[in-house]
Copies of this chain bind each other. A is one copy, B any other.
Amino acid sequence: MALPANFGGVVPPICTPFTDSGEIDTASLERLLRYLIDGGVTGIFALGTTSETGALTDAQRTQVIETTVATVAGEVPVIVGALASATNVVIEYAQQAQTLGVDAIVALSPYYHKFSEGEIANHFRAVKAAIDIPLIAYNIPQMIGTELSSANVVTLAKEGVIAGVKDSSGNEASFRASVLNTRGIQGFSVFTGGEITVDYSMFAGAAGIVPGLGNVDPAGYRRLYDAAITGDWDAARNEQERLVKLFAILSQATPGRVGISSGVIGGYKTALREMGVIDSNAMAVPFQPLNVEEATKIRAILVEVGLV
């Protein structure tokens, strides 16, 4: 399916379930996708940061795309990350994903090396020139050390190179500038990658939201989205404040025992396991899974917000 005009709504960046022996758990992945669609999501984003993408082999990436495309089966658009450090590899990933039938590609600014604004723009132009489906830019400087500037977003939007941006920077001023300065560009969508300021972003004019926490509570984010687009800001705020409580599952790992990323992604996976959506909270090496003590704390939070 093509992306709908003004693609928006709730598009969670999905986890990649693993078996305890380190294989992709496709049965769990299928259940997760069903859980999300039943929860009201308007799109699926596979192979984003939440997917442990940097830790997946090429074969695993293919497996995730194939399972996702087959399971979603056109009910909602599937967008897929072609996350790599430079242009030619992004193009390889993007073309492969296109061949496998995805609806749009998500790409980062180039990273590892340090590039200028012009080089970053050329990167997106080269990726777009190599594919026939929409390209969505992804701004997450805390992971790659490079900011995708709002100025570059606007330039690339006006050129038609990118059909949207997912902004996970937490820089609300820059987010707002992207919204204001792309207003009126047909078919261009600004998404927030935040979890706990989604009401702000919708209020500012976001087209949609890409919350990692949406893996755990897709219906909650859908309620928040629906409240926002109908202008019921009190309801949006109340739902957001409830989700702020749920957000605490991301910080239940014992400090120092595992890194921040294991705490966050492990928090999602542990919650999904506790809720019976996926079988294991295993993650790819070198992520360290959360333990029983940490899972107990996460379960308590799920109880508090009514998810188990």
Q: Which residues of A are at the interface with B, using a C-beta cutoff of 8 A?
A: 49, 52-57, 60, 83-89, 92, 110-120, 122-123, 126, 143-145, 170-173, 176-177, 180, 194, 196-197, 199-200, 203-204, 231, 233-234, 237, 241, 244, 256-262, 265, 284-288
CB distance from A82 to the nearest CB of B (A): 13
Complex: A280 Cα to B114 Cα, angstroms? 21
Beta-carbon nearest neighbor of A199 in chain B: B203
Given contacts A118-B288, A257-B116, A258-B116, contact A88 B123 (CB under 8 A): no
Cβ B56 vs Cβ A114 within 8 A: no
Query: Which residue of B has the minimal Cβ distance to A109?
Result: B286
A83 to B89, CA, bound (A): 14
List chain B residues, Cβ under 8 A from A85: 54-55, 85
A170 to B173, CA, bound (A): 8
Chain B contacts for A262, CB-based, 8 A: 113, 115-116, 119
Q: A49-B113, A116-B259 are in contact. List 9 more A-B contacts (CB 8 A).
A: A85-B85, A86-B286, A112-B144, A115-B262, A144-B145, A170-B173, A172-B197, A199-B203, A203-B237
Cross-interface CB contact of A88 among B49, B55, B89, B194, cutoff 8 Å:
B55
Name the distance in Å between A129's Cβ and chain B's nearest Cβ.
11
In the complex, A286→B113 CA distance in Å?
A: 10
Residues from chain B with a CB closer than 8 A to the CB of A241 are: 180
Quick check: B200 and A204 within 8 Å, CB to CB? yes
Task: Contact check, A115 vs B196: say whether CB atoms are below 8 A apart.
Answer: no
Select which of B87, B113, B123 is within 8 A of A261 by beta carbon.
B113
With both chains docked as a complex, state the minimum distance between the C-beta of A245 and any C-beta of chain B, in angstroms: 9
Q: Give the nearest-CB partner of A108 in chain B.
A: B112
A selection of 5 A-B contacts at a CB cut-off of 8 Å is A49-B112, A54-B89, A119-B287, A123-B285, A200-B200
Report yes or no: A110 in contact with B176, Cβ–Cβ below 8 A.
no
CB-nearest residue of chain B to A126: B285
Chain B residues within 8 Å of A180, by CB: 241, 244
- A86 near B284 with CB under 8 A, answer yes
